[in-house]
Amino acid sequence: MNALHTTSISSLPLVSRGKVRDVYAIDQDRLLMITSDRISAFDVVMQEAIPEKGVVLNQMSNFWFSHLAHVIPNHLTGIDPATMVSASEVDQVRGRAVVTKRLKPILVEAVVRGYLAGSGWKDYQETGSVCGIALPKGMKNAQALPEPIFTPAAKAEMGHHDENISYTEVERRIGSELAKKIKDTSIRLYTEAADYARRRGIIIADTKFEFGLDTAGQLVLMDEILTADSSRFWPADTYQVGSNPPSFDKQFLRDWLESVRIEGQAWNKTAPAPHLPDEIIRKTAEKYREAWQRLTQ
């Protein structure tokens, strides 16, 4: 099965090429956002792509944008991306692209955590807190938090890690009114999505949202939401407190990268990434598809 690693749309000017998404300008009000099959881990883009990953991510985001449209407006225009490119380029956008509104991005990553996991678990073990938010003593790995918490991060340049920042710092950067709206909206989005996903057999341990402002200054949800790239998904039927649950997201790939040896040495988590074996590519693709199917079909 062919995979789309890098797009080549010549009918529109390229605006940016991120870890996964390629963005092209349509006009001063609209953008074409294409979700490629690239995959990154530890902020490094892999040399191989995962077949259909971009289609899965795009369709999953579109599902959630529709499901949560009553909470906040989003960046989608509803325009068919195939009408924005030349006939020879339609295959590059089919199923994996959207036409979006141009927004002024807010450079804060809105992270919501409902469970102790990953860096949050490490932080808790060292400090009894997650990103400065104190939690009850004696909690275990993968345990549900008393209530979802908002742990924002500052957006970093490509190839660098996002930096956790305090809520006070968010208020300083964007103002207390906008900070509160983003926090409250993020927690509501997470709570509604987590309730829905649990009924479909998936636990959303944590996720991240991105927002922008339109020309009227209205807050708008943008980029991707509640995908296996932006969230930590666990199967509810095998979930156990105290251990790392198996994951539908790219944790599977991270685990393989942590174990791989190159000339006897562990990968140093800088480019170039190790080449991915066909089996790892296949299993990663399967995990993305299974999460999509459980949630949307």
In the block, tokens 């393989």 appear at 256
Distance CA 285, CA 283 (A): 5
Q: Which of 84-98, 103-117, 191-205, 247-261 has the lowest mean pLDDT?
A: 247-261
Is residue 109 over pLDDT 60? yes
Is residue 152 over pLDDT 90? yes
Is residue 250 over pLDDT 70? yes
90-102 pLDDT per residue, tens: 999 999 999 999 9
> Per-residue confidence at 246, pLDDT binned at 50, 70, 90?
confident
262-290 pLDDT per residue, tens: 888 999 999 999 999 999 999 999 999 99
Neighbours of 22 (CB within 10 A): 23
Distance CA 98, CA 232 (A): 24
> Per-residue confidence at 1, pLDDT binned at 50, 70, 90?
low
Residue-averaged pLDDT of the chain: 95
- Give the pLDDT of residue 141: 97
- Give the pLDDT of residue 161: 62
Structural contact between residues 201 and 208, judged by C-beta atoms closer than 8 angstroms: no
What CATH architecture is 14-102? 2-Layer Sandwich (3.30)
In the block, tokens 């999953």 appear at 60
Measured between its terminal Cα atoms, the distance across the chain in Å is 23
- Give the pLDDT of residue 262: 86
- Give the pLDDT of residue 263: 84
Is residue 156 over pLDDT 80? no
Q: How far is CA 7 from CA 4, 18, 249, in A?
A: 7, 11, 23
Provide the CATH number for the domain formed by 105-249 in this structure: 3.30.470.20
In the block, tokens 């860096």 appear at 119
Share of the chain above pLDDT 90, in %: 89
Closest CA to 49 of 291, 212, 282, 295: 282
179-212 pLDDT per residue, tens: 999 999 999 999 999 999 999 999 999 999 999 9
* b/e code 134-155 from CB counts within 10 Å (16+ = b): ebeeebebbbebeebbbbbbee
Is residue 150 over pLDDT 90? yes
Domain parsing of the chain, residue ranges: 14-102, 105-249
Q: Determine if the pTM surpasses 0.85.
A: yes
Share of the chain above pLDDT 70, in %: 98
Distance CA 225, CA 210 (A): 8
Is residue 73 over pLDDT 90? yes
* b/e code 253-281 from CB counts within 10 Å (16+ = b): beebbeebeeeeeebeeeeebbebeeebb
DSSP for 229-295 reads TTEEEEEGGG--TTS----SSTHHHHHHHHH-EETTEE--S-SSPPPPPHHHHHHHHHHHHHHHHHH
Q: Which of 37-41, 154-158, 218-222 has the lowest mean pLDDT?
A: 154-158
213-238 pLDDT per residue, tens: 999 999 999 999 999 999 999 999 99
Distance CA 153, CA 166 (A): 8
> What does residue 90 show for φ and ψ, rounded to 5 degrees?
-60, -35
